[in-house]
A and B are shown apart, each in its own frame.
Chain A
Amino acid sequence: MATSPAVYGVLAEFEDPTSLVSAAHQAHEAGYRRMDAYSPFPIEELHEAIGAHHTRLPLIVLIGGLCGCIGGFALQYWASTIAYPINVAGKPLNSWPAFIPVTFECTILVAALSAVLGMLALNGLPMPYHPVFNVPRFALASRNRFFLCIEAKDPQFDLESTRRFLETLNPREVTTVAD
């Protein structure tokens, strides 16, 4: 539409978490999808209010865990049956019960590492710059203010009408965010 390419989105500022959640609900109902909410502390309902879908993180952790499990077992199997086959107490070379503790630890290690690294990657972190920083008052997002930003990427985004829509949600202030 008539959107200038230099606009990242429109940012509305709220004074309390309840207004933010209700604004996010209304924006989602109005059909907006590409938006993000910012708050100084986690708000449980907010996640659903902005229509956040399930993340792919559980799948990444599962795959990491399986890799750790198979890798940990394979390492021990290779070491004790192929590379250094030593008969201990007459037990078979592939004494799998003895491998279980290490296999378990490797599963947890790789699953935990993939959870942390996967979370950072999916969030696009580390991110030293973000367009919302262009709004000076946004610094309050880490103190006592709550923000909802509808991004220009949204197919329904139109600078004028989106601004007018956000004004109806009783914000303290609505600002256009330069990209």
Chain B
Amino acid sequence: MVLTNTADVAIPELAGYQRRLLIAGAAGMIVSLAGLFMEPTQFLQSYLMAYMLWLGVTLGCLALGMVHQLSGGGWGVVIRRPIGAATRVLPVMTMLFLPIAFGMFRLYSWTNLDLVAHDEALQHKHLYLNTPFFLVRAAIYFLVWNTLTYFLNAWSLEQDTNPDPQFARRMQKLSAVGLLGYGLTITFASFDWLMSLEPHWFSTIYGVLIMGGQGLSALAVLIVVLVWLSRRPPLDRIIVAAHFHDLGNLMLAFIMLWAYFSFSQYLIIWSGNLPAEIAWYLHRLQTGWRAVGITLILFHFVVPFLLLLSRTMKREARTIVIVAGGILVARLVDLFWLIAPEFHQTGVSVSWLDVVLPVSLGAIWLGCFIWQLRGRAILPVHDPGFDEALGRIIEKAKERPAAAH
């Protein structure tokens, strides 16, 4: 088996999965269109949640890929191609932002000028929170993300046929600038799209909270994909327990990061006890939403934290895939906690759209992901860290990619 073959040749069943996932996703979206006509605000609220989850996976992969360009390390070489494929879903995600742009008048109360006219705080914020500027900012974010994705993927493709180390250096330089750009854009994007749902409230840690969440969602999806790849040729003898161990440790770090950010936000607002800041927590903690918060503490932190402390848990494909899947569900619940209470302030309200939309958007995302994965070699054989990360394993498996050199 030659590792430079495209994934399409190496794993022929991918095409079938892509078709089935895209059909299932499209069917789910058509069914949920009924929701758009019956209860448009609920549809947009659930759509925003589903969109932020899968955009988070895409951007989280973009950021992890850039981190790996700068840090190097064996953990990233085997997931480089899934990361690349995930970032190439971004153009599709850019299109899928349109429903939010069209529906912003139902989602964001600051778009209602009558309401702003009677609210002094919102009048002051109007300089930033107004419809044209909101759309211009969104265009800038997508421009930055798509530019980074385009160049990183183009150079990575050239690197497949040309072992010249200049491509690796170029990708490294762009990643350094790109991470800075990602940090700034995602901070403002999370302020615009999520925090401004409650326009009076503000939290400066919100951007990094979303950033940590995106890294976690991306890692969870990457681990599930890697486990799937490790169960069939050509990667079944190349992906070893040590890879899952590294990614499991990273996931543990992101779990702790999320808990640290979330708790810091709570601690600071709780200590200050200022009316403008505590409103966000009041209608979450003094209503039925409190149960969702406790669920998050347990299943977004305590349980995965304890499970991921175990070495065996991280090294076994069978167990790590369950933890990763659970974390992905917890990510959805976290976004539900950030978004839904703004629309249902009196108590928990779960709509069928909160389930159907994330699942169908996820099917579309995965379908596009597989479509992008198929077109390239499954491992970046000319990556400068390739031999260090995989040389010994490939020698043992007697599958040295001879044709690559």
Contacts and interface: CB of A to CB of B under 8 A. Distances in A.
Interface in B63-112: none
Contacts of A125: none
A100 interface: yes
A98 B264 CA distance: 10
B271 interface: yes
Contacts of B270: 97
6 tightest Cβ-Cβ pairs between the two chains A and B? A97-B267, A97-B270, A100-B263, A97-B266, A89-B273, A98-B271
Contacts of A58: 311
Nearest to A90: B273
Interface residues of A, number: 8
Contact of B267 (A62, A89, A98): A98
Contacts of A100: 263, 267
Contacts of B267: 97-98, 100-101
Nearest to A58: B311
A45 B271 CA distance: 51
Interface string B250-286: 0000000000000100110011010000000000000
Majority-rule SS of B interface residues: helix
Interface of B: 263, 266-267, 270-271, 273, 309, 311
Majority-rule SS of A interface residues: helix
Contacts of A97: 263, 266-267, 270-271
10 contacts: A54-B311, A58-B311, A62-B309, A89-B273, A97-B266, A97-B267, A98-B271, A100-B263, A100-B267, A101-B267
Interface of A: 54, 58, 62, 89, 97-98, 100-101
Contacts of B309: 62
A89 to B, nearest CB: 7
A101 B271 CA distance: 13
B1 to A, nearest CB: 25
Nearest to B310: A58
Contacts of B273: 89
A142 B273 CA distance: 61
B313 to A, nearest CB: 12
A37 B86 CA distance: 45
Given A89-B273, A100-B263, A100-B267, 11 more contacts: A54-B311, A58-B311, A62-B309, A97-B263, A97-B266, A97-B267, A97-B270, A97-B271, A98-B267, A98-B271, A101-B267
A54 B309 CA distance: 15
Contacts of B271: 97-98
A62 B267 CA distance: 26
Contacts of A98: 267, 271
Nearest to A54: B311
A6 B263 CA distance: 62
Contacts of A62: 309
